[in-house]
Amino acid sequence: MTGKRNLDRDRLDFGNGKIGRLFRTMFFPTLAAMIANSALAIIDGIFVGHGVGAEGIAAVNIVAPIFMVVTGVGLMLGIGSSVVASIRLSEDNVKAARIIMTQAFIVGLVVVGLICIASFAFPKEIIYALGCSLPLEPHAVSYMLWLLPGLAFLLIQCVGMMLIRLDGSPKYAMTVQIVAAVVNIALDWYMIFPLGWGTMGAALATSIACASGGVMVIAYFLYKADKLRFYRLKLSVTSLLLTLRNTWYMMRIGFATLLTELAISLMMLTGNYMFISMLGEDGVAAYAIACYLFPVVFSISNAVAQSAQPIISYNYGAQQTVRVRQALRISLQTAVICGTVITFLLVTGADKVAALFLSPSLAAYDLAVEGLPYFATCAVFFAINIAFIGYYQSIEKAATSTIYTLLRGVVILVPSFLLLPRIVGTYGLWLAIPTAEVVTCCVIIAMYFIRRPKQAT
């Protein structure tokens, strides 16, 4: 068995293998894993929507930014450590790669621990800061408090996925996230319907699902890993300073991904305020469906970027610029295809998608069916944006990736939410996100071709 496993790893030759084959080998398991991971949030919405009602699904949407922030921290450190470790492995410096990996896990757990302590200490203050209203308070507080125990494992899972793929085991990474999704489905149904635990049951199911995925990640690096294993760090001032230096470098590289998650949280927060002010609790419930779907759009787009990342980073470190360009081209082509499929499905199946979450007899259902086709137009442009941002992260151009993420997630998004409803009415609420993605996509493509002659890659 050991020989077979090592042979499988040898087939992932990032430096010499055909780019198309390498990308496909990474992409399909990564895509399955990303979809399974996003199912953690979607399944909550489906079961809560039918088991609790519109107030329940709106309350879960209020708390969702906390989940997104933790996911963002995990992806930031996961991508940052993966890029750095890829370059170190291309230099045959396995020890440095292991140190980077270990530091990423430790720092991430410290950050999540601080988030959990603050949330346990001030639950009501936090949910109201996230846009909660008085009728939603009981559901929101209950969901948040039972979600918190699983967040450390969520962090471990997010960081681990990147590094497991880099270690040559994309199928194991896929298995981790599929197992977590299956656990979530089973427990969500059991705790919401037979047990009748409502939003508390949904949160507890998610926490247990995250724990199952996190434990599988830890087991991989303890017992199954090839080159990337945990490394015992020294408890000294020098070691602490080295950890801080490496953490800062990882954060610089992966910061755009954290910003993407924060931007989704900001999108939820701003949207919650605007929808509740114009359409009330029913508007928030309808918008919550888009917020549940957006992580799916992000996950599929992120699968494209993550599949290209180790290929681009390794060849960038080896100065194989032609291979870097080939990987970028394939990732952009795949992004366009994936985004087009998502837009088509959401536009033609808006009523069916809304019915997954809400009863057709509810006012929120009608609002969702009317608005989802407008929201769906963002998918193609979002996928292209994420592919380019992932490319710049992979070649250590952290500032460029951060600027584009801020552009699409804050600079254009917030004014779009505030101004478009004044111009075109409630349709503007649904068009704010597509507007931000379209404008950003135009800027990214224009700047890429303007600067391309000057780029080494």
Distance CA 428, CA 416 (A): 8
How far is the C-alpha of 76 from the C-alpha of 70, rounded, in Å?
10
Return contacts of 310-313, CB within 8 angstroms, 24+ apart: 310/14, 310/26, 310/82, 310/86, 310/165, 310/166, 311/14, 311/19, 311/22, 311/23, 311/26, 312/391, 312/394, 312/395, 313/82, 313/83, 313/86, 313/87, 313/394, 313/395
pLDDT < 70 positions in the chain: 1-13, 36-44, 257, 452-457
**Amino acid letter, 212:** S
The domain ranges of the chain are 2-454
- CA 418 to chain CA centroid, nearest Å: 25
**Structure pTM?**
0.68
Predicted pLDDT at 7: 34
